[in-house]
Amino acid sequence: MRIDSHTHLLPEKMPDWTEKFGYGEFIHLEHHRPGFANMMKGKQFFREIGRNCWDPELRIQEYAAFHTEVQVVSTIPVMFSYWAKPLDTLDLSAFLNDHLAEIVHRYPKNYVALGTIPMQDTDLAIRELERCQELGIKGIQIGSNINGENLSESRYFPVFEACEQMGMAILVHPWNMMGESEMKKYWLPWLVGMPAETSRAMCSMIFGGVLERLPRLRVNFAHAGGSFFATLGRIRHGFESRPDLVAVDNAVDPKHYLGKFWVDCITHDPATLEYVLKFQGSKRVTLGSDYPFPLGDLEIGAFIDQMDLTDGEKENIYCHSTLEWLGIDRI
Protein backbone atom coordinates (compact mmCIF):
# COMPACT_ATOMS: atom_id res chain seq x y z
CA MET A 1 0.00 0.00 0.00
CA ARG A 2 1.16 3.54 -0.77
CA ILE A 3 0.09 6.60 1.17
CA ASP A 4 0.72 10.12 -0.07
CA SER A 5 1.34 12.24 3.03
CA HIS A 6 1.20 15.65 1.35
CA THR A 7 -1.72 16.54 -0.92
CA HIS A 8 -4.21 19.41 -1.03
CA LEU A 9 -7.99 19.37 -1.39
CA LEU A 10 -10.69 22.05 -1.44
CA PRO A 11 -14.48 21.89 -1.35
CA GLU A 12 -16.05 22.48 -4.78
CA LYS A 13 -18.23 25.21 -3.33
CA MET A 14 -17.23 27.62 -0.59
CA PRO A 15 -18.89 30.69 0.90
CA ASP A 16 -17.69 34.13 -0.17
CA TRP A 17 -16.17 34.96 3.21
CA THR A 18 -15.14 38.46 2.10
CA GLU A 19 -18.80 39.23 1.56
CA LYS A 20 -19.90 37.38 4.68
CA PHE A 21 -17.42 39.08 7.04
CA GLY A 22 -17.32 42.43 5.22
CA TYR A 23 -13.54 42.86 5.05
CA GLY A 24 -10.29 41.35 3.88
CA GLU A 25 -9.31 39.22 0.93
CA PHE A 26 -10.49 35.71 1.65
CA ILE A 27 -10.26 33.11 -1.08
CA HIS A 28 -13.40 32.24 -2.99
CA LEU A 29 -13.98 30.13 -6.11
CA GLU A 30 -15.36 31.22 -9.47
CA HIS A 31 -16.32 28.24 -11.62
CA HIS A 32 -15.73 30.01 -14.93
CA ARG A 33 -15.51 27.00 -17.29
CA PRO A 34 -16.40 23.30 -17.00
CA GLY A 35 -13.93 21.38 -14.83
CA PHE A 36 -11.99 24.46 -13.75
CA ALA A 37 -12.32 27.24 -11.20
CA ASN A 38 -10.46 30.43 -10.49
CA MET A 39 -9.32 30.90 -6.93
CA MET A 40 -9.96 34.59 -6.29
CA LYS A 41 -8.26 36.49 -3.46
CA GLY A 42 -10.83 39.18 -2.87
CA LYS A 43 -11.20 40.58 -6.40
CA GLN A 44 -7.76 39.43 -7.54
CA PHE A 45 -7.04 36.27 -9.51
CA PHE A 46 -4.84 33.93 -7.46
CA ARG A 47 -4.68 30.59 -9.32
CA GLU A 48 -6.74 28.40 -11.62
CA ILE A 49 -7.46 24.96 -10.27
CA GLY A 50 -8.93 21.90 -11.97
CA ARG A 51 -11.50 19.33 -11.00
CA ASN A 52 -8.84 17.14 -9.34
CA CYS A 53 -8.58 19.80 -6.66
CA TRP A 54 -12.09 18.99 -5.40
CA ASP A 55 -13.40 15.78 -6.99
CA PRO A 56 -12.54 12.85 -4.66
CA GLU A 57 -13.37 10.15 -7.20
CA LEU A 58 -11.32 11.68 -10.01
CA ARG A 59 -8.41 11.93 -7.59
CA ILE A 60 -8.70 8.25 -6.65
CA GLN A 61 -8.61 7.38 -10.38
CA GLU A 62 -5.58 9.58 -11.05
CA TYR A 63 -3.76 8.10 -8.06
CA ALA A 64 -4.47 4.55 -9.23
CA ALA A 65 -2.11 5.13 -12.17
CA PHE A 66 0.69 5.53 -9.59
CA HIS A 67 -0.37 2.59 -7.39
CA THR A 68 -1.20 4.94 -4.53
CA GLU A 69 -4.39 4.11 -2.68
CA VAL A 70 -4.38 6.64 0.14
CA GLN A 71 -4.15 10.43 0.17
CA VAL A 72 -3.53 12.49 3.29
CA VAL A 73 -5.48 15.61 2.42
CA SER A 74 -5.11 19.10 3.83
CA THR A 75 -6.32 22.47 2.68
CA ILE A 76 -4.31 24.77 0.39
CA PRO A 77 -2.10 26.99 2.60
CA VAL A 78 -3.58 30.21 1.18
CA MET A 79 -6.74 29.19 3.05
CA PHE A 80 -5.01 29.43 6.49
CA SER A 81 -6.25 33.05 6.84
CA TYR A 82 -4.29 33.62 10.08
CA TRP A 83 -4.44 37.36 9.29
CA ALA A 84 -8.22 37.56 9.82
CA LYS A 85 -10.21 38.10 13.01
CA PRO A 86 -9.81 34.88 15.02
CA LEU A 87 -13.52 34.00 15.14
CA ASP A 88 -13.77 34.44 11.38
CA THR A 89 -10.78 32.14 10.80
CA LEU A 90 -12.46 29.67 13.15
CA ASP A 91 -15.64 29.82 11.04
CA LEU A 92 -13.68 29.27 7.83
CA SER A 93 -11.54 26.51 9.37
CA ALA A 94 -14.62 24.69 10.66
CA PHE A 95 -16.17 24.75 7.18
CA LEU A 96 -13.02 23.27 5.62
CA ASN A 97 -12.59 20.70 8.40
CA ASP A 98 -16.21 19.54 8.17
CA HIS A 99 -15.69 19.03 4.45
CA LEU A 100 -12.45 17.08 4.93
CA ALA A 101 -14.10 14.90 7.58
CA GLU A 102 -16.98 14.17 5.25
CA ILE A 103 -14.58 13.04 2.48
CA VAL A 104 -12.86 10.68 4.93
CA HIS A 105 -16.23 9.37 6.07
CA ARG A 106 -17.27 8.66 2.47
CA TYR A 107 -13.94 7.15 1.38
CA PRO A 108 -12.27 5.73 4.51
CA LYS A 109 -9.91 3.52 2.49
CA ASN A 110 -8.65 6.38 0.33
CA TYR A 111 -8.50 9.50 2.45
CA VAL A 112 -7.01 10.65 5.75
CA ALA A 113 -7.48 14.29 6.75
CA LEU A 114 -5.40 17.00 8.37
CA GLY A 115 -7.42 19.97 9.62
CA THR A 116 -6.66 23.67 9.77
CA ILE A 117 -6.99 25.76 12.94
CA PRO A 118 -6.87 29.51 13.77
CA MET A 119 -3.27 29.60 15.01
CA GLN A 120 -3.48 33.36 15.74
CA ASP A 121 -5.68 32.60 18.77
CA THR A 122 -4.37 29.84 21.02
CA ASP A 123 -7.66 29.05 22.80
CA LEU A 124 -9.71 28.94 19.60
CA ALA A 125 -6.98 26.90 17.89
CA ILE A 126 -7.13 24.26 20.63
CA ARG A 127 -10.92 24.28 20.58
CA GLU A 128 -10.97 23.54 16.85
CA LEU A 129 -8.14 21.01 17.26
CA GLU A 130 -10.35 19.09 19.70
CA ARG A 131 -13.31 19.29 17.36
CA CYS A 132 -11.11 17.98 14.52
CA GLN A 133 -10.27 14.93 16.58
CA GLU A 134 -13.94 14.32 17.32
CA LEU A 135 -14.56 14.42 13.56
CA GLY A 136 -11.97 11.69 12.97
CA ILE A 137 -9.28 14.02 11.64
CA LYS A 138 -5.78 12.70 12.43
CA GLY A 139 -3.80 15.91 12.70
CA ILE A 140 -3.39 19.47 11.50
CA GLN A 141 -1.50 21.38 8.88
CA ILE A 142 0.02 24.70 10.03
CA GLY A 143 2.05 27.43 8.37
CA SER A 144 5.83 27.85 8.73
CA ASN A 145 5.19 31.19 10.45
CA ILE A 146 2.06 32.73 11.91
CA ASN A 147 1.63 36.28 10.62
CA GLY A 148 5.43 36.57 10.54
CA GLU A 149 5.97 35.12 14.01
CA ASN A 150 8.12 32.05 14.48
CA LEU A 151 6.75 28.77 15.81
CA SER A 152 9.12 29.12 18.79
CA GLU A 153 6.96 31.94 20.23
CA SER A 154 5.59 30.84 23.59
CA ARG A 155 1.97 31.48 22.64
CA TYR A 156 2.04 28.59 20.16
CA PHE A 157 3.43 26.13 22.68
CA PRO A 158 0.03 25.20 24.21
CA VAL A 159 -1.18 24.18 20.73
CA PHE A 160 1.82 21.88 20.30
CA GLU A 161 1.35 20.57 23.82
CA ALA A 162 -2.32 19.79 23.06
CA CYS A 163 -1.30 18.00 19.83
CA GLU A 164 1.14 15.84 21.77
CA GLN A 165 -1.40 15.01 24.48
CA MET A 166 -4.13 14.23 21.96
CA GLY A 167 -1.83 12.33 19.59
CA MET A 168 -2.59 14.68 16.70
CA ALA A 169 0.05 14.78 13.94
CA ILE A 170 1.34 18.05 12.48
CA LEU A 171 2.32 18.93 8.92
CA VAL A 172 4.32 22.17 8.79
CA HIS A 173 3.81 23.73 5.38
CA PRO A 174 5.67 26.81 4.09
CA TRP A 175 3.43 29.82 3.60
CA ASN A 176 3.45 33.61 3.97
CA MET A 177 6.95 33.46 2.52
CA MET A 178 9.69 35.75 3.76
CA GLY A 179 10.87 38.26 1.17
CA GLU A 180 7.85 37.61 -1.06
CA SER A 181 7.26 41.25 -2.00
CA GLU A 182 10.96 41.77 -2.88
CA MET A 183 11.28 38.80 -5.21
CA LYS A 184 8.04 38.35 -7.09
CA LYS A 185 9.76 37.64 -10.43
CA TYR A 186 10.75 34.12 -11.52
CA TRP A 187 8.38 32.48 -9.01
CA LEU A 188 11.08 33.02 -6.38
CA PRO A 189 8.68 33.00 -3.41
CA TRP A 190 7.97 29.38 -4.33
CA LEU A 191 11.50 28.39 -5.41
CA VAL A 192 13.56 30.25 -2.81
CA GLY A 193 11.13 31.46 -0.15
CA MET A 194 9.35 28.19 0.50
CA PRO A 195 12.47 26.08 1.17
CA ALA A 196 13.80 28.84 3.45
CA GLU A 197 10.45 29.00 5.28
CA THR A 198 10.52 25.29 6.07
CA SER A 199 14.06 25.56 7.43
CA ARG A 200 12.94 28.60 9.45
CA ALA A 201 10.16 26.53 11.02
CA MET A 202 12.50 23.60 11.76
CA CYS A 203 15.18 25.82 13.31
CA SER A 204 12.52 27.65 15.36
CA MET A 205 11.04 24.44 16.73
CA ILE A 206 14.50 23.00 17.49
CA PHE A 207 16.16 26.10 18.98
CA GLY A 208 12.95 27.13 20.75
CA GLY A 209 12.94 23.78 22.54
CA VAL A 210 9.53 22.69 21.23
CA LEU A 211 10.83 19.32 20.05
CA GLU A 212 12.92 18.97 23.23
CA ARG A 213 10.02 19.61 25.60
CA LEU A 214 7.52 17.56 23.59
CA PRO A 215 9.40 14.41 22.57
CA ARG A 216 6.23 12.56 21.55
CA LEU A 217 5.04 15.34 19.23
CA ARG A 218 4.86 13.96 15.67
CA VAL A 219 5.80 16.65 13.14
CA ASN A 220 6.32 16.30 9.39
CA PHE A 221 8.09 19.13 7.56
CA ALA A 222 7.08 19.64 3.93
CA HIS A 223 9.28 19.46 0.83
CA ALA A 224 11.91 17.28 2.47
CA GLY A 225 12.64 19.97 5.03
CA GLY A 226 13.23 22.69 2.40
CA SER A 227 16.75 24.09 2.72
CA PHE A 228 17.30 22.63 6.21
CA PHE A 229 19.42 19.61 5.29
CA ALA A 230 21.45 21.47 2.65
CA THR A 231 22.45 24.01 5.32
CA LEU A 232 22.62 21.66 8.32
CA GLY A 233 26.41 21.97 8.57
CA ARG A 234 26.08 25.73 8.81
CA ILE A 235 23.24 25.51 11.31
CA ARG A 236 25.26 23.18 13.58
CA HIS A 237 28.41 25.26 13.20
CA GLY A 238 26.42 28.32 14.23
CA PHE A 239 25.10 26.45 17.24
CA GLU A 240 28.63 25.44 18.27
CA SER A 241 30.43 28.69 17.53
CA ARG A 242 27.88 31.18 18.83
CA PRO A 243 25.85 29.48 21.56
CA ASP A 244 25.26 32.95 23.01
CA LEU A 245 23.06 33.62 19.95
CA VAL A 246 21.75 30.19 19.06
CA ALA A 247 21.58 28.00 22.18
CA VAL A 248 19.74 30.51 24.35
CA ASP A 249 16.55 28.45 24.78
CA ASN A 250 17.78 24.91 24.10
CA ALA A 251 21.30 23.64 24.75
CA VAL A 252 20.88 20.44 22.70
CA ASP A 253 22.73 20.01 19.38
CA PRO A 254 20.26 20.14 16.43
CA LYS A 255 21.75 16.83 15.25
CA HIS A 256 19.98 15.14 18.16
CA TYR A 257 16.59 15.71 16.51
CA LEU A 258 17.43 14.18 13.14
CA GLY A 259 15.31 11.10 12.59
CA LYS A 260 12.93 12.17 15.35
CA PHE A 261 10.73 14.37 13.15
CA TRP A 262 9.49 13.40 9.69
CA VAL A 263 10.00 15.03 6.27
CA ASP A 264 8.33 14.14 2.99
CA CYS A 265 10.23 12.99 -0.12
CA ILE A 266 9.32 15.92 -2.40
CA THR A 267 12.78 16.66 -3.81
CA HIS A 268 12.22 15.79 -7.51
CA ASP A 269 15.75 14.41 -7.44
CA PRO A 270 17.15 11.02 -6.35
CA ALA A 271 20.53 12.42 -5.25
CA THR A 272 18.87 14.97 -2.99
CA LEU A 273 16.57 12.37 -1.50
CA GLU A 274 19.53 10.04 -0.88
CA TYR A 275 21.23 12.86 1.00
CA VAL A 276 18.14 13.50 3.15
CA LEU A 277 17.77 9.76 3.81
CA LYS A 278 21.31 9.67 5.24
CA PHE A 279 20.21 11.95 8.05
CA GLN A 280 16.63 10.87 8.50
CA GLY A 281 16.54 7.15 7.69
CA SER A 282 13.68 5.69 5.66
CA LYS A 283 11.36 5.48 8.69
CA ARG A 284 11.27 9.26 8.88
CA VAL A 285 10.77 10.11 5.20
CA THR A 286 7.19 9.97 3.91
CA LEU A 287 5.89 9.67 0.37
CA GLY A 288 4.58 13.09 -0.62
CA SER A 289 3.52 14.74 -3.86
CA ASP A 290 1.95 18.18 -3.31
CA TYR A 291 -0.72 16.94 -5.74
CA PRO A 292 -2.43 18.40 -7.71
CA PHE A 293 -0.18 21.43 -8.22
CA PRO A 294 2.39 21.82 -11.01
CA LEU A 295 5.31 22.25 -8.59
CA GLY A 296 4.39 18.93 -6.99
CA ASP A 297 5.73 15.50 -7.85
CA LEU A 298 2.72 14.50 -9.93
CA GLU A 299 4.18 11.09 -10.74
CA ILE A 300 3.84 10.44 -7.01
CA GLY A 301 7.21 9.05 -6.00
CA ALA A 302 7.91 7.28 -9.31
CA PHE A 303 11.53 8.46 -9.11
CA ILE A 304 11.94 6.44 -5.91
CA ASP A 305 11.22 3.22 -7.81
CA GLN A 306 14.41 3.89 -9.81
CA MET A 307 16.55 4.47 -6.72
CA ASP A 308 18.92 1.89 -5.30
CA LEU A 309 17.03 1.33 -2.05
CA THR A 310 16.03 -1.93 -0.40
CA ASP A 311 12.42 -3.08 -0.59
CA GLY A 312 12.17 -2.42 3.14
CA GLU A 313 13.36 1.16 2.73
CA LYS A 314 10.89 1.74 -0.08
CA GLU A 315 8.05 0.29 1.99
CA ASN A 316 8.96 2.59 4.83
CA ILE A 317 8.82 5.64 2.56
CA TYR A 318 5.69 4.54 0.70
CA CYS A 319 3.70 3.52 3.74
CA HIS A 320 5.09 2.78 7.22
CA SER A 321 6.63 6.16 7.96
CA THR A 322 3.34 7.95 7.21
CA LEU A 323 1.33 5.52 9.35
CA GLU A 324 3.72 6.10 12.24
CA TRP A 325 3.61 9.88 11.79
CA LEU A 326 -0.19 9.78 11.82
CA GLY A 327 -0.20 7.44 14.82
CA ILE A 328 -2.31 4.74 13.16
CA ASP A 329 -1.67 1.05 12.45
CA ARG A 330 -3.64 0.75 9.24
CA ILE A 331 -6.00 2.63 6.96
- For Zn ion, the binding residues (CB under 5 A) are 290
Alpha carbons 97 and 84: distance in angstroms, whole number = 17
Cβ proximity to Zn ion, 17 vs 80, nearer residue:
80
Q: Where are the alpha helices (DSSP H) in 45-193?
A: 56-64, 86-106, 122-134, 157-166, 188
Cβ proximity to Zn ion, 6 vs 218, nearer residue:
6
Residue whose CB is nearest to Zn ion in the complex, by number: 290
How far apart are CB 289 and Zn ion at their closest, in Å?
A: 9
Neighbours of 32 (CB within 10 A): 10
How far apart are CB 240 and Zn ion at their closest, in Å?
A: 33
How far apart are CB 10 and Zn ion at their closest, in Å?
A: 12
Alpha carbons 123 and 86: distance in angstroms, whole number = 10
Cβ proximity to Zn ion, 164 vs 290, nearer residue:
290
User: For 249, what's the count of Cα atoms within 13 Å in the CB-facing half-sphere?
Assistant: 14
Nearest CA among 118, 126, 110, 124 for reference residue 75: 118
Cβ proximity to Zn ion, 59 vs 131, nearer residue:
59
Q: Would you put residue 35 in left (φ > 0), alpha (ψ -120 to 50) or beta?
A: left
Neighbours of 308 (CB within 10 A): 7
Cβ proximity to Zn ion, 290 vs 297, nearer residue:
290
Cβ proximity to Zn ion, 121 vs 290, nearer residue:
290
How far apart are CB 245 and Zn ion at their closest, in Å?
A: 32
How far apart are CB 173 and Zn ion at their closest, in Å?
A: 5
Strand partners, 39: 29, 47
Containing 43, the helix (H) or strand (E) segment is: none
How far apart are CB 259 and Zn ion at their closest, in Å?
A: 23
